[in-house]
Amino acid sequence: MPYGNKPLHFGHIGGVFVPADAFARFLRDRIGAENVRFVSGTDCFGSPINEGYRKLVETGEFSGTIADYVLANHERQASTLEAFQVSLDIYDGSGIGHAADVHQMITNQFIERLHGCGHLKLDSTLQFYDAEAGTFLNGRQVQGRCPVQGCKSEHGYADECDLGHQYAPADLIAPVSTLTGTAPEMRPVENWYFDLPDFDGFLKERVEALRADSEVRPVVPQTIAEFLAPPVIFVKNEHLDEYRALADRLPPHQFRAAEGGKSSFEIEFSDITARDAARAVLAPAGIRFRTSKTLVPFRITGNIEWGVAAPVIDGVEGLTVWCWPESLWAPISFTIAANDEQGLPRGSWRDFWCSDEARVYQFIGQDNLYFYGVAQPALWEALGEGGLFDDGEDSRLRQTTLVANHHMLFGKKKASSSGAVKPPTGEQLLEHYTAEQLRAHFLALGLDQKSVGFSPKPFDPDEAKRTDSRYADPALKEGALLTNVFNRLARSCFYEAGKNFDGCMPLGRVTSEVRTRAFTALVDYEERMHRVELHRVMSVCDEFIRWSNKWWADGIKAAEESGDEQARRQVLVDSFYLLRVATLLMHPVVPAGCEKICDYLSFGFDEFFSWNYDFDSNEELCPAMEIDAGVHRIHELPPRFDFFRKHESQYK
């Protein structure tokens, strides 16, 4: 769910949306579209939106309401996703249209159920207040350094940094108000908190289960485990004498001296309450310290005006919901809204979120693993067997499968729209590439393995490389498979059919070697898709398409040299079959071009892209009269036709 304060940049599209779309398209082909819901939407609330809106209004760049601002960004995001052929069943927003009404209902239900199950508590905590501006500050209106040990982020906000670490606002190092540039005060406010530390045992068991599951990407349990450390305070060695002088004033703890050249010693406490009591002693004494990534209560509400309204509980009014928790259950809201649009019963959302026969995949960046891998599983578990509605129906929420990608770097650096290195937007990329060239490249990057650089030549900061025609564009590597090899295979089949077979595809038994090669590719591809190893999916497709193209080239050359018309017919039977399988495999990757091939083959999309066939030959797609005649009529292909075109700028 991208924030509603910006357009989509290459990381949103290539790191999350395109991989999710390829997987959703595969599932529709494999198990039927009626069994798949692919949902997302604009995150309409949260402090980044408030801050972005405030700045534009102050500079006179925007004059509408904050709702107008979010809607304009949402429509721009939706347009970009459409241009990249992302096939969401719904792309609304947490505060837009019918989905907003559903989301408010689900939010009320979720919070009331958490409270009813005894997992919420009202707590007074300190919040940043800008005395000069006379206002409390939202999350992004405060900037400092992250206080979590080992984190080097210089973008620490009120209670989280840009790397996803959570901490108490009072721990933020060197906070500054972005409104006035002054150091803010700390003033108490009341909010509802989810008792996340109570689920420490559950989360540790879950981490072990994830580690034992070979299908889970290692980054998932590894990152989640980092947040389950015991409550530890790290103190600079230079403060050792000062610590010793007041150690007896601290709650019971274990002292560990610095070892191996470390710059800090450790003091470990039994729980978060004891650790916080120690902080209250250390800070006034001027002792510098940082804290571990231990579990802290998860804030549910806030007091900024622009947000989903929180339900009134125990007479507490006027609160809104913090954007992070409501964004965790927003996909449920979107699923309900999507089913509503299809005229399905309201309870049909359970088929996707509660059924033992269902599975929920969430495509995220690794920075968000705290929220989706720590907070969300605990929230789901907290609802228990009664689930969201506790109405006697089977509504325990299934824990989700996290498909977490590493960072997609811009060149060699991590890019952020709020940082110094500005990433190109999706719209800017489409000025130089086709959507399908980029889709193929994004999927081949291997973000499930490690952080990978995206280095499009038109955006290279080195002008010499950018303008030198001898320098290859890394972003076009996979595009060449489309515009050259795949195109050549498809055109060869169609032009040969038009020239020597009266515009028909000949039918018949496929050569055994061809069928074996196709079956091997289908099985390998399906296994890779099941594990969401999309770069390996691309490797399977690359090898199969190149093998198929060579089979055609070698076969037609031999047939022409021998003058054997039966051999000519057989190689075309084989090659059309190989084209059919290649098109099926590439459909989730480059849907528009593949559907164009299907259209020219004169087959219906539902049958052609379904896996519910035995793949023995192309005859199974044809009516009986064509099978008896031994041919299938196809559309005539115009001269020099491309199923996969290069971008116009690449022809210059």
pLDDT (average), residues 20-31: 98
| pLDDT tier at 416, thresholds 50, 70, 90 | low
- Supply the pLDDT for residue 479: 93
Residues in the chain, overall count: 652
Q: How far apart, in whole angstroms, are the C-alpha atoms of residue 526 and residue 357? A: 19
Least confident of 41-50, 461-470, 486-495: 461-470
User: Do 426 and 486 belong together in one domain?
Assistant: no
The helix or strand, by DSSP H or E, that contains position 29, with its residue range, turns out to be: helix 18-31
- For residue 312, the SS3 value is coil
Task: Tally the domains of the chain.
Answer: 2
Decide if 470 is inside a domain: no
CATH, residue 591? 1.10.730.10
Residue 176 to residue 178: CA distance in whole angstroms? 6
For residue 189, give both structure tokens: 């406010």
**Tens digits of per-residue pLDDT, 248-295?**
999 999 999 999 889 999 999 999 899 989 988 998 888 888 888 899
- 312 occurs within a structural domain: yes
Answer whether residue 154 shows pLDDT above 80: no
The answer to whether residues 439 and 520 belong to one domain is no
Tell me the residue range of the domain where 542 lies.
476-650
What integer pLDDT is reported at residue 128 of this predicted model?
Answer: 86
Same domain, yes or no, for 441 and 544? Answer: no
419, pLDDT greater than 70: no
Under DSSP, is residue 533 helix (H, G, I), strand (E, B) or coil?
A: coil
Q: What local confidence, expressed as pLDDT, does residue 462 receive?
A: 83
Q: Provide the pLDDT for residue 303.
A: 81
Flag whether pLDDT at 391 surpasses 80.
yes
CA 495 to each of CA 238, 503, 504, 592: distance values in angstroms, whole numbers, following the listed order: 79, 8, 10, 21
Is the model's pTM score more than 0.85? yes
What pLDDT is stored for residue 172 in this prediction? 86
Q: Is 263 exposed, middle or buried (0-12, 13-18, 19+ CB in 10 A)?
A: exposed
Residues 484 and 457 in one domain: no
Distances (CA, A) of 598 to 88, 271, 346: 22, 62, 36
- In this prediction, residue 468 carries a pLDDT of 84
DSSP 375: I
Final residue before a domain boundary, out of 429, 464, 499: 464
Question: What confidence category does residue 417 fall into, taking pLDDT thresholds of 50, 70 and 90?
Answer: low
Residue finishing a domain among 415, 436, 464: 464
Mean pLDDT throughout 585-595?
Answer: 98
The tens digit of pLDDT for each residue in 355-390 reads: 999 999 999 999 899 999 999 999 999 999 999 999
* Plot region of 502 (φ>0 → left; ψ -120 to 50 → alpha; else → beta): left
**Residue 181 phi, psi dihedral angles, 5° rounding:** 75, 10
Do the beta carbons of residue 94 and residue 324 sit within 8 Å?
Answer: no
Confirm whether 171 is domain-assigned: no
The verdict on residue 114 lying in a domain is: yes
* Average pLDDT of every residue of the chain: 93
Q: How much is the pLDDT for 284?
A: 87
- The answer to whether 504 and 636 have CB atoms below 8 angstroms apart is no
What pLDDT, on the 0 to 100 scale, is given for residue 639?
Answer: 93
User: Is residue 132's pLDDT more than 70?
Assistant: yes
pLDDT for 613: 85
Q: What's the CA dihedral at 117, 120, 122, 127 to 10 degrees?
A: -170
The runs of H, that is alpha helices, within 227-297 are 240-246, 272-282
Joined together, the tokens standing for residue 109 give 């239900």
Q: Which amino acid is at 628?
A: D
Element (DSSP H or E) covering residue 383 = helix 376-383
Q: In angstroms, rounded to a whole number, what is the distance separating the alpha carbons of residues 267 and 261? A: 17
Backbone torsions φ then ψ of 293, nearest 5 degrees: -85, 50
* CB of 560 closer than 8 Å to CB of 568: yes
Do residues 378 and 199 touch, judged by C-beta distance below 8 A?
A: yes
Q: How far apart are CA 571 and CA 579, in angstroms?
A: 12
Q: Looking at residue 293, what is its pLDDT?
A: 86
Tell me, yes or no, whether 71 lies in a domain.
yes
Q: Other CB atoms closer than 10 Å to residue 639's CB: what's the count?
A: 6
Same domain, 424 and 325: yes
pLDDT at residue 367, as a whole number: 87
Q: Are residues 480 and 628 located together in one domain of the fold? A: yes
**Residue 291 domain-assigned?**
no
Task: Categorize the per-residue pLDDT at 420 as very low, low, confident or very high, splitting at 50, 70 and 90.
Answer: low
- 495 and 599: one domain? yes
DSSP string, 179-236: TTSSPPEEEEEEEEEE-GGGGHHHHHHHHHHHHH-TTS-THHHHHHHHTT---EEEEE
Q: Is the domain of 558 the same as that of 636?
A: yes
Give the residue from 385, 34, 373, 52 showing the smallest Cα distance to 207.
373
User: CATH number for the domain including 112?
Assistant: 3.40.50.620
Mean pLDDT of 628-638: 95
Question: How many angstroms separate the Cα of 511 from the Cα of each of 16, 380, 580, 632?
Answer: 40, 53, 15, 19
Instruction: Supply the pLDDT for residue 217.
Output: 93
Residues 445 and 524 in one domain: no
Contact call for residues 475 and 455 (beta carbons, < 8 A)? yes
What is the predicted pLDDT for the residue at 158?
80
One domain, residues 38 and 111 = yes
As a whole number of angstroms, the distance between CA 476 and CA 432 comes to 11
Residue 158 counted as domain residue: no
Based on the fold, state whether residues 68 and 45 are members of the same structural domain: yes
Tell me the two tokens of residue 208.
């072990």
Q: Is residue 450 part of a domain?
A: yes
Residues 486 and 451 in one domain: no
